[in-house]
């Protein structure tokens, strides 16, 4: 009995280690294909069910993102002006904003195909770029790249670059202006208002 329990525990530990050590390009491809396969089959999502696609994003996508790092990058030097509590609130609101934005994009998914570009990584690399391309019938392909960093729990996405434009730095000027106008609390309120507006569209 003890041998069986030990064997089972060892199997679980090995499986967990394998997931944690999954290569960044393999991680992006696996998660992307899993999400798109669900979208292709789910009629509610195709008909614009925001709640179902938000649930999908929270279950399949969010665990692989470092939202605190993303928020710090989006705020730039303003991040250091925020108290720990404000940083926590900013991260939570920015996470919700990105999830809502991502979810709205997914509801518009139809016949797009993802092409995964060749990936190279040197031993010891802890910061990498995984390049993909979204091929849309009747339109030009859109470059979609992911910046990932290695953490103890595995690789985490900290930025997404769409057609050469960084998602997090794209917010930096806007957030900086809002901090100058209303302080950190004003920025938190502004992002919360955007989230409320996006939520009301469902």
What is the per-residue pLDDT for 112?
A: 80
What is the per-residue pLDDT for 201?
A: 64
What is the per-residue pLDDT for 18?
A: 43
pTM: 0.82
- Answer whether residue 88 shows pLDDT above 50: yes
Rounded Cα–Cα distance for residues 126 and 141 (Å): 29
The residue-averaged pLDDT of 163-182 equals 90
Spatial CB neighbours of 87, under 8 Å, sequence gap ≥ 6:
68, 71, 72, 79
Rounded Cα–Cα distance for residues 185 and 103 (Å): 26
Tell me which range, 38-52, 91-105, 169-183, is most confidently predicted by mean pLDDT.
169-183
CA nearest neighbour of 195 among 108, 46, 92: 92
What is the per-residue pLDDT for 123?
A: 87
Rounded Cα–Cα distance for residues 185 and 104 (Å): 26
Residue with the two structure tokens 């904003």: 97
Q: Are 168 and 74 in contact (CB under 8 A)?
A: yes
Architecture label for domain 20-199: Roll (3.10)
Longest dimension (CA), the chain: 66
Q: What is the DSSP letter of 150?
A: E
């Amino acid at each position: 009995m003890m041998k069986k329990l030990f064997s089972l525990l060892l199997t679980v530990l090995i499986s967990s280690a394998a997931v944690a050590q999954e290569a960044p390009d393999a991680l992006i491809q696996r998660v992307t294909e899993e999400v798109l396969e669900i979208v292709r089959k789910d009629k509610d999502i195709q008909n614009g069910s925001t709640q179902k696609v938000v649930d999908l994003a929270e279950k399949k996508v969010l665990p692989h993102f470092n939202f605190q790092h993303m928020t710090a990058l989006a705020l730039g030097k303003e991040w250091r002006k925020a108290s720990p509590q404000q940083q926590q609130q900013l991260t939570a609101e920015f996470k919700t904003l990105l999830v809502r934005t991502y979810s709205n994009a997914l509801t518009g998914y139809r016949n797009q195909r993802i092409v995964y570009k060749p990936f190279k990584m040197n031993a010891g690399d802890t910061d990498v770029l995984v390049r993909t391309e979204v091929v849309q019938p009747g339109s030009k392909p859109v470059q979609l790249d992911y910046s990932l960093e290695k953490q103890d729990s595995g690789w985490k996405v900290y930025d997404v670059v769409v057609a050469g434009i960084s998602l997090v730095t794209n917010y930096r000027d806007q957030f900086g202006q809002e901090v100058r106008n209303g302080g950190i609390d004003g920025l938190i309120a502004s992002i919360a208002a955007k989230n409320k507006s996006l939520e009301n569209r469902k």
